[in-house]
Amino acid sequence: MDPQDRHICSHAFEHSQDHHGAVAPPVYQTSIFTFPDLESFSRAQLAERDHFIYSRGLNPTVKLLEDKLAALERGQACKAFASGMGAISATLFSLLKHGDHVLRINQTYGPSVELLDHMARYGVSHDGIGGDQDVSDHLRPETRLIYIESPSSLRMELANLEAISAIARKRGILTLIDNTWATPLFQKPLTHGIDMVVHSLSKYIGGHSDVVGGAVIADAELIDRLFANGHQLLGAALSPHSASLILRGLRTLPVRMAEHQRNALAVARFLADHPQVAAVHHPSLAKGAAADWAARQLHGHSGLLSLALHHPSYSRIANFIDALELMRIGVSWGGYESLALSPMRPDGSGQPLIRLAIGLEHIDDIIDDLERGFAALDR
């Protein structure tokens, strides 16, 4: 793990002596900032992207988080939002117009697809391909954005970021990647030519399942566009209190991600050798071109993976998940606790997978719990 990243997570930009030596950054829990005279207020309004006026725009606690996230991703600027979907919505509404097309690569987060479906009423179209398909074959003259998940959050699919970004730049197409699975510690897409990175801060970066947030990192010009349009006008501003919780999460992110990785690699190996398992989806087990992409792009592996059973059915999947005692059933991931769920429905629709978010419990306890699930498959 890059020592620079450890410094950014723990101390960068904090200037504690400006706050009486406070170890924890202060929470500026205020809606407005006042000015000594009307002239200074008027000057600030003319450059509101650079001044603290109203916390829907800039707030010192939120800005500290934004500075750290931009530095971690090796980007110029960041804008934080009240949720991951707030970040995605602001980006799509800021960048797209009537007649534009979005090409999605790998399985996209479900609510993002729903949002793009709704944007059809405004003349925006979209479709998706796998990361192993040739992007050039699916671009249209009206394609304005390539939206990537790599690794994705269900099958952990990968994509060749450098190849995609090179094609996109030649055609004047922007690229956006959801980097939530890897975090900035394990993947830095901007260094591979991607234009914008989006995160759900609710996951590993927050790290404690007690805060919801999102962020977009890019060059200053793109973030300025997002600030003026998607952030200010849609209003999904991250609160100072939420920003302080995420800053707290950043302090332990390097330590937590190392342990998530250690546990997940042990679980992936255990599942890969289990006779009841037909497939395990985790980048550490990637083969062929995907293995090359993982080696080149990823500096580590997070704790989210999925598995497919031999002879899958809803009842067998439900038996497995319901028998787990340590792992709880819940959406999201990235906190201390291990979680399990399945996208399969009682009517047989949905993918017959079991998704596991491997937490920070002792690995022996996690493996024992998985054995409990396998023992219950055919009860």
Catalytic residues: 56, 109, 178, 203
Burial 245-273 (b: 16+ CB within 10 A, else e): bbbbbbeebbebbebbbebbbebbebbee
* Strand blocks (E) in the chain: 77-81, 101-105, 125-129, 143-149, 174-178, 196-200, 214-218, 277-281, 304-309, 328-329, 339-341, 354-357
Measured distance CA(166)–CA(143) in Å, rounded? 15
Cross-strand partners of 81 = 214, 237
* Contact (CB, 8 A) for 292 and 273: no
Dist CA 323 CA 236 (whole Å): 39
Cβ-contact 277, 309 below 8 angstroms: yes
Which 8-state DSSP code applies to residue 108?
P
Write down the H helix ranges in 288-337: 288-297, 314-323
Cα–Cα distance, 103 to 171 (Å, whole number):
13
Amino acid present at 281:
H
CA distance 329 to 104: 28
How many Å apart are CA 289 and CA 85, to the nearest integer? 31
